Amino acid sequence: MKVVLTGGPALRRVYTEETVEKISRIAGEKALFADTVPPDAEALFSTWGMPAFSSDFIEKNLTCLKYVFYGAGSVRGFARPFLENGVRVFSAWQANGVPVAEFTAAQTVLCAKRYFDVFTKAGGTPKGIQGIKAGIIGLGAIGSLVCRILRAKGICVYAYDRFLPDKYFEDIGVRRASLEELFSECDVITNHLADNAETRGMLGRDLIMRMKPDAYFINTGRGAQVDQDALLDALKESPERTALLDVTYPEPLPEGHGLLTCRNAIISPHIAGSLGSEVSEMGRFMCDEFERVVSGLPPLYEVTAEMLEIMA
């Protein structure tokens, strides 16, 4: 099988020499790194920097392509034209979600101890991890894992996701809540909504201004879901509130934006996801998925057109 690896500068870190050797063994011939996708390629491996192709281009020029394996998270920017042409798409979204969930859960624990008050001078009263209510917005792979981590620590978790049945909330041991209840009741609120037209601006002023005077808002999801002007006003209204933003909209924020100088806003440079040596785990996930697919076993990480509507 003709296999090609293409993408941005992270490609060779995601797909280590060992992983590429295994891909080649599975394919039965040497997998090649290339700047462009040749017309006889049957399987494409990529990561951040994956080129986007039109449906028409794929139909006319990539007629042999059967599979795309994406060693990163969201495939929303490129997947649909492939799916429209019958090319199966697989993503390491779950592997990339683990460090995000761990980062978010760690921040939540630190919030419970009001650790960030050291930097913001907020001066709130620590409640401890069993004393807080955490609100999780969006129960995709990352949000669900955050719930499981926090529940294992004995934290009371509220969650919002309009797509899931009540039984799912019961199974992971969290309380189903409306967004209004979640913002009003929870001490720590974290955003994990999918990024689509329906969710952009969804966390608006009415919700944000409901936050407790000493609440924390964490965003390791997407920045476009949040009314950042309202968030800034909420932080100014109560200096004991704190925002921990690993993502913003736009990213980075323009020079002079109020959140950059707001004392109780802490902005990190989009570091919650896989970094450094962690990125190779996503290449390994996609190699293992390739082996399952060519062996006729059920895939674990296939992305369908229906999933694109609700994935981050």
For 194-228, how does the pLDDT look when each residue is reduced to its tens digit (9 = 90+)? 888 889 999 999 999 999 999 999 999 999 999 99
Residue 254 in tokens: 């323009």
Can you tell me the distance from the alpha carbon of 116 to that of 277, in angstroms, rounded to the nearest whole number? 28
Question: What number is the average pLDDT over the span 45-65?
Answer: 96
Q: Specify the 3-state DSSP secondary structure of 158.
A: strand
Average of per-residue pLDDT values in the chain: 95
Q: Taking CA 220 as the corner, what is the angle to CA 219 and CA 222, rounded to the nearest 5 degrees?
A: 80
Under DSSP, is residue 196 helix (H, G, I), strand (E, B) or coil?
coil
Q: What is the mean pLDDT of residues 121-144?
A: 93
Identify the DSSP state of 52: P
Task: Outline where 113-189 has alpha helix (H).
Answer: 117-120, 141-152, 166-171, 179-185
User: What global pTM score does this model have?
Assistant: 0.84
Q: In what order do the strands lie in the sheet with 156-160?
A: 175-176, 156-160, 133-137, 188-191, 216-219, 242-245, 265-267
pLDDT at residue 311 is higher than 80:
no
Domains and CATH numbers, the chain: 3-91+276-308 (3.40.50.720), 97-267 (3.40.50.720)
- Measured from the Cβ of residue 279, the count of other Cβ atoms closer than 10 Å reads 24
pLDDT score, position 73: 86
Point out the residues that are catalytic: 222, 251, 270
Model confidence over 252-310: pLDDT tens digits?
Answer: 999 999 999 999 999 999 999 888 888 999 999 999 999 999 999 999 999 999 888 77
pLDDT at 312: 64
Amino acid 195: pLDDT: 86
C-alpha to C-alpha distances, 61 to 40, 56, 64, 77, nearest whole angstrom: 9, 8, 9, 20
| Closest by CA position to 47, among listed 243, 280, 226 | 280
Find out whether 18 and 44 touch, Cβ atoms under 8 Å.
Answer: no
Q: What is the pLDDT of residue 34?
A: 96
- Residue 33 is encoded by which pair of tokens? 């790194």
